[in-house]
Amino acid sequence: MGAWKVDDGRSERTGTMWTASAHIITAIVGSGVLSLAWSMAQLGWAVSKSNCFHKEGHGAAPCKFSNNPYMIAIGITEIFLSQIRNLHKLSWLSVIAAVMSFSYAGIGIGLSFAKVVSGEGEKTTLTGVDIGLDLTMADKTWRMFQAMGDMSLSAAYSFILIEIQDTLRSSPPENRVMKKANVIATSAATTLYMLCGCLGYSALGNHAPGNLLTGFGFYDPFWLIDLANVFIVVHLIGAYQVVESWAGAKWPKSKFVNEEYPLRIGKNNNFTISLNFFRIIWRSVFVMMATLISMAIPFFNEILALLGAFCYWPLTVYFPLEMYISRTKIKRGTIKWCALQLLNLVCFLASLVVAMSSFLGVGKALHTYKPFMSKQ
C-alpha cells in the first residue's frame, strides 16, 4: 500500500485536466438542481406523463402522477452512491454525468432549433413576458430578480473547486491544470446555456416553462423526450453527491469517524468496498432529509433562486476577491482595489435582491402547493 500513498497519507491522486473538467461540468451543467432529489424524480414522472400525453392527448385530465415514489427510489439509490469515500473516487461517475448533460442539453437544443426553423416558434418580445391581467409590473420585476438567482446558481461551482483541484496529480502543476480545466468546462457550459436559453426562448416564447424538458415545453417526439429525461436523471445521480471530510480532520483519532472496514465481494473476493460507520450514518441521514424536504416542498425555480442568492456572493465573489487582493498585495484605495470592491458591492446587492424575490416566490408557492402533493 505504501506505493499508493502520498505525503499526506491519502491515496495517490491520478486526476487529469479532463477528469477535472468532467467534475466541473457535472457540477454546473444541467437543470441547476444539484442537491434536490425532486428534480431527480423527474425520470419516472416525466416519462410517465410524456407517454400519457402521447396516448391521451396534450393536457389530458387523467395524466396526473405523484412524484413521491420516484423521489423515494432516487433517494435510496443516492444512499448507496453517497458512501463513495471522496471526490477522487467519483471521476468515472462525473465523466458519465458530463456525457449525459451534453446529451440531454443537445436534445433540448435540437428540438428548439427544429421548432424555430419550421416557423412554429412562439411569440417573443424584447422585454420578455408581457404585463397584463395575470402579471403586474411588480410581479415581473420580482421574476426578473428570481431569474438572476437561477443564472447565478447555474454558473457556481466554487463550493467544490478546492475538492476538484485536490484530485489532480502533482505533475504537471495543479494550478496550471486547473486553469485549463476551468476554461474548458466553463466554455462548454456557457455555450450550452446560451444555446438552450436563446433557442429555447425562440421556440417557446413567453410561455417557456421553468424546465425545458420536464416542464413539457415539448411533447413530440415522445420517445426522444423520454430519452432526454433518462439522461437528466443519470446526470443528476452523478451530480448529487455528499462529500464530507471536516469530521475526519476534527477528530483524527476517532475510529468511529475515520476507521475504514473493507468488505470483499465477488466470486474470488476481487472487489472491495470500504465501509465507514460515520459515513454510513451521516450521509444516509443527509440524503434522507434532503429527499424528505424535496417531497414536502416541491418548488423548482423558487428554490433555485434562493440557493443561488445564498451561495453566489460569498463563495463566488467575496472570498475569491479577498484572497486575490491579499495574495497580490493590492493596496487599499488604489484604482484596482476600488474597482474590485465596487464589483463586490454590486454582486452583494444583486444577491440581496434575488434573496428577497426568492422569499416572495416561495411565499406565493406555499399558498398553492400542499406538502407531498401530486404533480399536476
Decide if 367 is inside a domain. Answer: no
On the 0-12 / 13-18 / 19+ scale of CB atoms within 10 A, 330 is middle
44: its cell numbers: 419516472
User: Is the separation of the CB atoms in 151 and 308 below 8 Å?
Assistant: yes
The residue written with cell numbers 491579499 in the block is 326
Domain containing 120: what range? 12-298
- pLDDT number for residue 224: 76
Query: What pLDDT is stored for residue 218 in this prediction?
Result: 53
Tell me if 175 is assigned to some domain. Answer: yes
In a domain, 98, yes or no: yes
pLDDT per residue, tens digit, the chain (376 aa), is: 333 444 444 556 777 888 888 777 777 765 443 333 333 333 333 445 555 555 555 554 555 656 677 778 878 877 877 777 665 566 677 777 778 877 877 888 888 888 888 877 666 666 666 676 666 777 777 767 766 666 666 666 776 777 788 778 877 888 888 888 888 888 888 887 778 777 877 777 777 766 666 554 555 666 777 777 777 777 766 655 555 667 777 788 888 888 888 878 777 777 777 788 888 888 888 888 878 877 776 665 566 667 767 777 888 889 889 999 999 999 998 999 999 999 999 888 888 887 887 777 777 777 777 766 655 5
Q: Which H or E run contains 151? A: helix 137-154
Residue 226 counted as domain residue = yes
Which among 41, 49, 47, 96 has a CA at the least distance from the CA of 69? 41
Specify the DSSP element, H or E, that contains 263: strand 261-265
Q: Report how far residue 161's alpha carbon sits from residue 290's, in angstroms, rounded to the nearest whole number.
A: 22
Task: State residue 43's pLDDT score.
Answer: 34
User: Is 6 inside any structural domain?
Assistant: no
Q: How far is CA 257 from its chain centroid?
A: 28
Domain count, the chain: 1
Does any domain span residue 333?
no
Pull the grid cell for residue 239.
Answer: 451530480
Q: What does each C-alpha distance from 80 to 201, 242, 283, 288 come to in angstroms?
A: 38, 11, 9, 12
Write down the pLDDT at residue 12. 63
pLDDT of residue 198: 78
d(CA 81, CA 93): 10
Cα gap 227→234, rounded to integer Å: 11
What local confidence, expressed as pLDDT, does residue 22 receive? 78
Contacts 24+ apart (CB under 8 A), 54-58: 54/219, 54/220, 54/222, 58/219
Q: Is residue 332 part of a domain?
A: no
Assess if residue 194 is contained within a domain.
yes
